[in-house]
Amino acid sequence: MAVKNELETRDWYKTAVFYQIWVRSFADGNGDGIGDLYGVYDKLEYLKSLGITAIWFNPLYPSPNADFGYDISDYCNIHPDYGDLEQFKKVLNKAHELGMKVIMDLVINHTSDEHPWFIESRKGGDDNPYKDYYIWRDEPNNWDSIFEGKAWEYDSVRGQYYLHLFAKKQPDLNMDNPKVREEVKNILRFWLSMGVDGFREDVINFISKREGLPNGIGFLPIIGSMHHYKDGPHIHEYLAEFRAVCDEYGAVQIGEGPMTTVNSAMKYLSGDTKSMDMMFSFDHMMADCLFTEYFHRPFSLIRLKTALSRWQYKLADKAWNSLYLENHDHPRVISRYGSEKYHRESGTALATAYMFLRGTPFIYQGQEIGMTNIKLSSIDQYVDVSSKNNYIRYHVKDPVEARLHRIHISSRDSARTPMQWDASENAGFTTGKPWFYVNPNYKAINVAAEEEDENSILNYYRKCVELRKENQVLLFGDYKEYDHKNPFVYMYERRKGKTSYFVICSFTGEPITYKLPRGFGGHTAKIMLSNYPKKRVPGEIRRMPEDGLKLAPYEALVVKMKRV
């Protein structure tokens, strides 16, 4: 297929609303307690009803699950727990029929140690074609891995150390080897020729390592070595090769860029080195933590606003943002940035705060009903490799309760509990025994209950999606933040020509009087959306008060004004 016109093909992502499916916990269709593609098939109409136009699947491939799918043992197949290629094609076709695109997760920084390439590579030998598929050394350097101890593991078969930036069972591929890059291109072609619409690309900024792999420096060994593999020397060359393949199909590419700065993200997103349509930023995930959730600090709205605005301003009309608050790597956002006490109010305020930024929103399964963190009573009940290792790696001298509290607020497992569909046993996720703990709050927080309640978080997400859809100001208008130093209120404007939308969100459980920035008082505005709809009725025209806007706990509203 020839390179298609950008507008005909890729540009769909700019007006899309993505839904992210971590399949293991989404919906179990065959009763074995594990979410699968049979379950997904049955829920596609639900996604459609939410206004979703694209789906991102976390890895669906065969995997020993040392890192739940991010340790792949076969790139061109489906994990038997989730179905098979035939079932995947059924899901893909039905999604397409319903007007939803589908993107896959591309994990090429590392494979599983059970991948046949690694099994072969371990054997070494000069004429072994897989010998240099991974990064082998006689002596390790001082790097720490991100998930599990040192970044090097000795392999007794080969008699050398291999690099693993993540868990031991995730050896890093040697992307400097052209044969490895050819393998990547074959993987891309395999899925693209089946009809998938693009890829979310895992830790894509880590795939090119600095020559010689020098020792890291600094007080935090992980951070101190990161500059040796983040945005590495050949990254843009390699990504250009992959982009060329995606161009043949008009496929969308979304890069995950851990710890990427907005300036380096711009190199992936624009100019001669453009290889990605969007990048996932981590900056706004650090509003309550430093580097990983395990280094917790109190949530700061100002930090959140700083991060969001930095990306909004920098990308502006030069590149396109991805917008998210949750995914499978972060605990639930109501428990982090909102309030479990003001569950509905803060869940809807958070939705308002990010859904109207310039960019493409991603909704992670369960976010749309306001799922919250689970609190398990022992570390042994957790299954995530990074949570388990953080527990024995950091703050080890603290009392057990304090360490467990950190897990409660930081674990990735909190975002991976089974989806809460209804109030029946196991939250309607499975008729079998669920593979992981269901959050006990499922009787109150579930899809069925929220479908019935006009003012639920679920129905509010629908309203947000509806308001954005085809709205040229909210889709493409300029962004401007107001009152940055205010620690309780996030206010921004989206403007195109003479039309402006103002988004005002309170981030406190106290009622407050918010003094609107100069120039607003006395003007008339139309209420477009409100999470206190009885107090501010959508459609009503109101004068903006001169003496301050009275905001209820976590009140959020979107108003439209004509600029003079």
One-letter amino acid of 213? L
Contact string (CB under 6 A) for ligand NOJ, positions 78-107, x = contact: -----------------------------x
To the nearest 10°, report the CA torsion of 9, 10, 13, 19.
80
**Rounded least distance, CB 564 to ligand NOJ, Å:** 47
Does residue number 172 form part of the binding site for ligand NOJ (CB under 6 A)?
no
CA 407 to each of CA 143, 373, 375, 393, 481: distance values in angstroms, whole numbers, following the listed order: 25, 10, 8, 12, 34
Q: What is the DSSP letter of 532?
A: S
**Rounded least distance, CB 366 to ligand NOJ, Å:** 16
Task: Give the contacts of 294 (CB within 8 A, at least 6 positions apart).
Answer: 390, 394, 395, 406, 410
Choosing from 166, 238, 337, 342, the residue that interacts with ligand NOJ (CB under 6 A) is: 166
Q: Which residue(s) pair with 160 in the sheet?
A: 155
**Rounded least distance, CB 13 to ligand NOJ, Å:** 19
**Rounded least distance, CB 329 to ligand NOJ, Å:** 5
Q: What is the DSSP letter of 287?
A: S
Comparing CB distances to ligand NOJ, the nearer of 328 and 358 is 328
Q: Which residue(s) pair with 206 in the sheet?
A: none
Does residue number 520 form part of the binding site for ligand NOJ (CB under 6 A)?
no
To the nearest 10°, report the CA torsion of 26, 31, 34, 40.
-30
Question: Of residues 250-309, which lie at the interface with ligand NOJ (CB under 6 A)?
Answer: 256
Quick count: other Cβ atoms within 10 Å of Cβ 218?
Answer: 11
Tell the burial category of 46 from Cβ atoms under 10 Å away from its Cβ (0-12, 13-18, 19+): middle
Does residue number 203 form part of the binding site for ligand NOJ (CB under 6 A)?
yes
**Rounded least distance, CB 203 to ligand NOJ, Å:** 5
Contact string (CB under 6 A) for ligand NOJ, positions 315-334, x = contact: -------------xx-----
Does residue number 67 form part of the binding site for ligand NOJ (CB under 6 A)?
yes
Comparing CB distances to ligand NOJ, the nearer of 152 and 492 is 152
Does residue number 202 form part of the binding site for ligand NOJ (CB under 6 A)?
yes
Best CA proximity match to 555, nearest among 346, 389, 276: 346
- Which is it for strands 54-57 and 18-21: parallel, antiparallel or unpaired? parallel
Which region, left, alpha or beta, applies to residue 334 given φ > 0 means left and ψ of -120 to 50 means alpha? alpha
Question: Of residues 218-237, which lie at the interface with ligand NOJ (CB under 6 A)?
Answer: none
Does residue number 66 form part of the binding site for ligand NOJ (CB under 6 A)?
no
**Rounded least distance, CB 95 to ligand NOJ, Å:** 22
Q: How many CA atoms lie within 13 A of 459 on its CB side?
A: 12
Choosing from 57, 70, 118, 191, the residue that interacts with ligand NOJ (CB under 6 A) is: 70
**Rounded least distance, CB 202 to ligand NOJ, Å:** 5
**Active-site residue numbers?**
202, 256
Residue nearest to ligand NOJ (CB): 70
Does residue number 21 form part of the binding site for ligand NOJ (CB under 6 A)?
no
Comparing CB distances to ligand NOJ, the nearer of 70 and 136 is 70
Q: How many residues line the site for ligand NOJ (CB under 6 A)? A: 9
For 46, the 3-state DSSP assignment is: helix
For 10, the 3-state DSSP assignment is: helix
- Integer Cα distance of 180 and 185 in angstroms: 9
Residues that bind ligand NOJ in the complex, under the rule CB under 6 A? 67, 70, 107, 166, 202-203, 256, 328-329
